């Protein structure tokens, strides 16, 4: 087995990019170069450096400030949806592994069922029901991430259940719930951390797509996806409006993907890709 350094495995660059992203998101709550929602019609469609580092949009919003505030919205929606999916998915997966039999199989089939709905499709369906907004985006992303966490925690939990210490705990009379809490969860936590990082990256991509279609946070809340939607109208005049948000999304996703790869090397050596 080749030893991989923290830099090569992606752990370090991933942690750096993700850390910067989270830092900028938090910073945007207390400081941005301009108030992100302030319109300055006199400064509309200014190229980068003519007004601010990244220029302005069609209403004279400062793009750097919009990107910073957008980072917060992207991160909180992605974080909330993955937290929700993690809780529901792990509950499904570990319960199925503890129960086995038809009940366990039924729980896993429910997870399969959710998987049949692409995130954008469940986003459209949920928006038809409760209208667009942060809640719709969080639910739609969770619907698609729940089966992932359910499957990963199920297969990881099944292998832990086969270990001798679980047999010993069963012989000692510990309940299946107790064994799950004391032995299964600590042993699958690493695998789940890897998956959470990867899914956070995907969640940011999906949120950008949902807000591009206007299904996520409504205006005037700054959002990377909606910035891209508005940019398409001015593509010929102001290409910078389209370039900057795309780079921001790609960088944020890259950070979480690298972090996931690096963590996998550390915590979950069984998987090869």
Question: Which residue ranges make up the site for another protein (CB under 8 A)?
Answer: 2, 10, 109-110, 112-113, 115-121, 124-129, 144, 201, 205-206, 208-209, 212-213, 228, 231-232, 235-236, 239, 242-243, 245-246, 249-251, 253-254, 257-258, 272-273
Q: For another protein, give the closer residue by CB, 193 or 198.
A: 198
Query: C-beta of 242: minimal distance to another protein in Å?
Result: 5
Q: For another protein, give the closer residue by CB, 53 or 130.
A: 130
Q: For another protein, give the closer residue by CB, 64 or 210.
A: 210
Q: For another protein, give the closer residue by CB, 175 or 233.
A: 233
Query: C-beta of 220: minimal distance to another protein in Å?
Result: 21
Query: C-beta of 232: minimal distance to another protein in Å?
Result: 6
CA nearest neighbour of 89 among 153, 160, 181: 153
Query: C-beta of 273: minimal distance to another protein in Å?
Result: 4
Query: C-beta of 139: minimal distance to another protein in Å?
Result: 11
Residues belonging to the chain:
273
**Residues 224, 230, 233, 236, CA torsion sign:** negative
Q: For another protein, give the closer residue by CB, 77 or 160.
A: 77
**What is the Cα–Cα distance from 210 to 173, expressed in whole angstroms?**
49
Q: For another protein, give the closer residue by CB, 9 or 180.
A: 9
Query: C-beta of 243: minimal distance to another protein in Å?
Result: 8
Burial-class residue 12 by CB neighbours within 10 Å (0-12, 13-18, 19+): middle
């Amino acid at each position: 087995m080749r030893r991989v350094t923290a830099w090569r495995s992606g752990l370090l660059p991933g942690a750096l990019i993700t850390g910067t992203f989270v830092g900028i998101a938090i910073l945007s709550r207390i400081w941005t170069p301009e108030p992100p929602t302030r319109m300055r019609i006199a400064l509309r469609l200014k190229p980068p450096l003519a007004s601010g580092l990244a220029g302005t949009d069609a209403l004279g919003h400062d793009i750097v400030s919009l990107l910073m505030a957008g980072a917060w919205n992207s991160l909180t929606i992605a974080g909330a949806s993955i937290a929700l999916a993690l809780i529901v998915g792990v509950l499904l997966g570990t319960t199925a592994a503890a129960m086995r039999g038809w009940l366990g199989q039924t729980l896993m089939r429910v997870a399969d069922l959710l998987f049949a709905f692409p995130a954008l499709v469940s986003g459209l369906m949920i928006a038809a029901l409760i209208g667009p907004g942060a809640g719709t985006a969080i639910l739609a992303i969770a619907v698609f991430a729940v089966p992932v966490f359910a499957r990963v925690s199920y297969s990881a939990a099944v292998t832990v259940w086969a270990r001798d210490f679980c047999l010993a705990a069963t012989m000692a009379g510990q309940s299946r719930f107790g064994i799950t809490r004391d032995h299964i969860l600590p042993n699958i936590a690493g695998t789940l951390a890897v998956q959470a990082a990867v899914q956070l990256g995907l969640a940011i991509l999906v949120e950008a797509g949902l807000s591009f279609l206007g299904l996520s946070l409504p205006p005037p809340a700054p959002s990377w996806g909606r910035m891209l939607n508005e940019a398409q109208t001015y593509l010929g005049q102001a290409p910078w409006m389209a370039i900057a948000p795309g780079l921001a999304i790609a960088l944020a996703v890259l950070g979480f993907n690298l972090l996931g790869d690096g963590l996998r090397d550390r915590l979950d050596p069984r998987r090869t890709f």
